[in-house]
Amino acid sequence: MKYLLRHIGLYLVAAWASLTLNFLLPRTMPGDPVTALIGRMRGRFSPAQIQALRVAYGFTNAPLWQQYLQYLSHALRGDFGLSISDYPAKVSTIISTALMWTVLLGVVVLLLGFLAGTVLGVIVAWWRGSFLDSILPGLFNFIGSFPYFFLAMLALFFLGFTLKWFPMSHAYADSLSPGWSWAFVGSVLLHLVMPAGTVILVSVGGWLVGMRSTMVAVLAEDYIIMAEAKGLPQWQIMFQYAMRNAILPNFTQFGMSVGFILGGQILTEIVFSYPGLGFYLVRAVTAHDYPLMQALFLMITLAILAANLIVDLLYVRLDPRVRTT
């Protein structure tokens, strides 16, 4: 119980700190939304239009502490106001359009990447020194160290543009309307192959290598030899004795990654025109769209904190040693 309370208190402090950072950082960037917009249009706004924009986006000259208090109270109520880059759409509207796709892509990528990487890690560690062990880690590390952008563009160009195996953009075919029909779900899955596939390809290596190295260490433990001596079946030693202990660091990593899902797979979404939050994140920053930026960063921060809290709590289940500390 004490463990729980101490953790929740700690996370509240962290949440407050990130809220504050979230408020301060965008304001330290040079320029303002109107300057950014003039630049994006390369000066094709007339002076009269610039004047109108300055009035419309009217930045209060209220002292910083007042803005800060207002920001905190609005953030607690979940009210982030109007976006500037999509003026006058509500920030909440923008986020709700894009959130679903980012979550779908993120969850698929994370789950498949984690599962594949972990299982492969267990297998190559078990048969270390085998042919598989000498090929797989190296191969996936090689792919993983490719600049992702380049890999994604290659996939887009060859699989999408030249061979036309997979659609080149969007989360579903434009001709369909979202709904629970086979045609729509099928189209969503087909559109997911390239964006998710490329990310899984580059992320598997990390999970695999992490799992393999802890697994190798665990396999040298006495209790494994003990289990073997007892004559337990191989799969039972592999998964219930070795993997359960070796998975802990990967599991922590998994928790962190869950939180980062909301950050969007920025490059993936841009290369494959996937309608998620990542594109908005980049645009909010380039356009100095403070309201949108704050809402997105806050969401990411809170998601990461929440995911970590959950991992911390699950640790108590997974690793009994934690309970006594």
Partner 1 sequence: MPKRVCTILSLLLALNLLLAACGSPAPATPTAAPTVPATTVPTSPAPQPTASPQSTATHAFKPVYLTVNMEQQSTWVRNFNPFSGDARTQASTIIYEPMMIYDKATSQLVPWLATAYAWNTDNTLLTFTLRQGVKWSDGQPFTSKDVTYTFDLLNKFPALLNNLGSILTDNIDSWSAPDDFTVQFKFKVVYTPALHLLANQLIVPEHIWKDVADPTTYTNDSPVGTGPFTEVIKFQDQTYTLEKNPYYWQPGKPTFQGMVFPALPGNDQANMSLAQGDLDWAGNFVPDIEKTYVSKDPTDFHYFFVGAESVMLYINPSIKPFDNPDVRKAISMGIDRNSVVNIAEYGYIAPSDATGLSVWEYKPWINPDAVAAGTWTNFDPQKANAMLDAAGLKKGTDGIRIGPDGKPMSYKLLAPNGWTDWIAACQIISQNMKDLGIVITLDNPEQNSWQDEVFSGKFEWTLGWSSGGATPYYFYRGQMSELTVQPIGQPANENWGRYVDPQADKLLAQFATTSDPVLQKSLMNQIEMIFVNDAPALPLFPGPDWYEYVTTRFDGWPTKDNPYAPGPPFAAPSFAPSPLLVVTNIWPK
List the interface residues with partner 1, window 14-33 (CB under 8 A).
14, 17-18, 21-22, 25, 29-32
Q: Which of residues 249-268 bind partner 1 (CB under 8 A)?
A: 252, 256, 259, 263
Window 160-199: residues binding partner 1 (CB under 8 A): 160-161, 168-172, 174, 177-178
Q: Of 273, 299, 303, 306, which one interacts with partner 1 (CB under 8 A)? A: 273
Residue 106 contacts partner 1 per CB under 8 A: no
- Please give the radius of gyration of the chain, using alpha carbons only, rounded to the nearest integer: 24
Task: Please state, in angstroms and rounded to a whole number, the distance separating the CA atoms of residues 176 and 205.
Answer: 36
Provide, rounded to whole angstroms, the least separation between the CB of residue 129 and partner 1.
34
Does position 41 interact with partner 1 (CB under 8 A)? The reply is yes
CB of 141 to partner 1, least distance (A): 22
CA 104 to chain centre: 11
From 44-52, 71-79, 203-211, 240-248, span contacting partner 1 (CB under 8 A)? 44-52
In contact, 65 and 288? CB cutoff 8 Å? no
CB of 252 to partner 1, least distance (A): 8
Q: Hey, what are 7's tokens?
A: 């953790």
Interface pick for partner 1 out of 52, 183, 225, 226 (rule CB under 8 A): 52
Which two tokens mark 54?
A: 């300055």
Q: Report in angstroms how near the CB of residue 283 gets to partner 1 at its nearest.
A: 8
Q: Which is nearer to partner 1, 90 or 128 (CB)?
A: 90
Contact with partner 1 (CB under 8 A) among 192, 276, 289, 291? 276
56 binds partner 1 (CB under 8 A): yes
User: What's the closest the beta carbon of residue 83 comes to partner 1, in angstroms?
Assistant: 8
User: If binding is defined by CB under 8 A, does position 11 make contact with partner 1?
Assistant: yes
Residue 310 binds partner 1, judged by CB under 8 A: no
Find out whether 112 and 201 touch, Cβ atoms under 8 Å: no
Query: Of 34-42, 133-141, 212-220, 224-232, which segment contacts partner 1 by CB under 8 A?
Result: 34-42
- Please report how close the Cβ of residue 277 comes to partner 1 at its closest, in angstroms: 9
The stretch near partner 1 (CB under 8 A) out of 64-72, 202-210, 216-224, 301-309 is: 301-309
**# binding residues, partner 1 (CB under 8 A):** 84
The candidate with the shortest Cα–Cα distance to 122, out of 265, 247, 231, is 247
Which of 1, 2, 5, 43 binds partner 1 (CB under 8 A)? It is 43
Closest contact distance (angstroms) between CB of 47 and partner 1 is 5
Using CB under 8 A as the binding rule, whether residue 80 contacts partner 1 is answered as: no
For the bound state, the minimum distance from the C-beta of residue 74 to partner 1, rounded and expressed in Å, comes to: 16
Measured between alpha carbons, how far is 320 from 172 in angstroms, rounded to an integer?
Answer: 45
Two tokens, residue 122:
């267990």
How many CB atoms neighbour CB 128 within 10 A? Answer: 14
**Phi, psi for residue 85 in degrees, rounded to 5:** -75, -20
Q: Does 64 bind partner 1 (CB under 8 A)?
A: no
Residues 278 to 297: which contact partner 1 by CB under 8 A?
A: 279-282, 285-286, 288, 297
